[in-house]
Copies of this chain bind each other. A is one copy, B any other.
């Protein structure tokens, strides 16, 4: 008898799923899905992903951040919608919902506890990391957000559990390696010896910055491009040029590099700022090591180095599933309970 589980991390812009057999990730799927555009398609998307993962009637371990999407008036409504989608997609399957208390609950129980199961994904990744690293800052930089979770004495030791509390404590920095608008990172960029304001428009995202700087591949650029054009470095450069209301007839490659490098430096500093805030709170008990994860692990590494921490990589423990740590982690955590119960 196997203990197969699919772990789900349902975001507002991406759905990630990992099939595990006990604690071994077997297959991973990430699919861009801007939920707010056509939420009614969610059950079909879930089914398609589950089919592509295969597995012998696996149980479903669910975590989400999609409840924040602005097609929902409240988190309560968003949580209920996502849970309905799972029940629609998998009527005869065991569905277990992870919460910020580290426990799984049934769909019915989860529906009544929206603030317990909303945006609990960071807790799962950190819980799994805590088995290997008893004292560490877990820093997971995704496409959209950065989770900074202190692990002290083998336990998740956060200050807040809701998104607003975590945005205040430095444990959530709403910045990522792909989807973040450049205008949400910087107010000005250096251009030919001057500081130039940027356009407050969705002309370019951090995916363009890191495509131009060759830090990510076209396949890592998982969201739509702002202008609907492609993901080549030159197409990314044209979008970056538009941030200063220019085009590639007006700017050189050096000008574009000057813009991109400044955005990257600023973003690393913002992540480092969250880390420093968390470290200040922990005081003398603050860990010496950062465990980095996510599509933007390269940013987590740079920020950790900036604040003077040693760096380990979650990929050493999780393999390629470290890019989707929460999905892999909820799957492993549920698989263990199934195994214990069997």
The docked-state distance in angstroms from the alpha carbon of A185 to that of B181 is 12
Interface centre among A181, A184, A202 (most CB of B within 10 A): A184
Chain B CB count within 10 A is highest, among A174, A185, A238, for: A174
Q: How many copies does the complex hold?
A: 2
A119-B245, A244-B167 are known contacts. Are A200 and B227 too (CB-CB below 8 A)?
Answer: no
**Given B70, B168, B248, which contacts A226 in the complex, CB threshold below 8 Å?**
B70
User: How distant is the Cα of A341 from the Cα of B296 in the complex, in angstroms?
Assistant: 64
* Given A173-B197, A174-B198, A197-B173, A246 and B163 contact (CB-CB distance below 8 Å): yes
Are A74 and B164 within 8 A (Cβ)?
no
Answer yes or no: A56 CB below 8 A from chain B CBs.
Answer: no
Quick one: given A196-B164, A244-B164, are A74 and B173 in contact (CB under 8 Å)? no
Chain A contact residues: helix, strand, loop or mixed: loop
A249 touches B74 (CB 8 A): yes
Contact partner of A202 (CB less than 8 A), chosen from B170, B198, B202, is B202
**Partner pick for A70 among B162, B184, B242, B270, CB 8 A cutoff:** B242
Interface on A for B, CB 8 Å cutoff? 36, 68, 70-71, 73-76, 115, 119, 144, 162-164, 167-168, 170, 172-176, 180-181, 183-185, 187, 191, 194-203, 226-229, 238-239, 242, 244-250, 270, 274
Extra contacts besides A164-B191, A181-B181 (17): CB < 8 Å: A68-B199, A68-B245, A70-B239, A73-B229, A75-B249, A76-B247, A164-B196, A164-B246, A167-B196, A168-B196, A176-B200, A180-B200, A181-B183, A181-B184, A185-B200, A187-B270, A202-B202
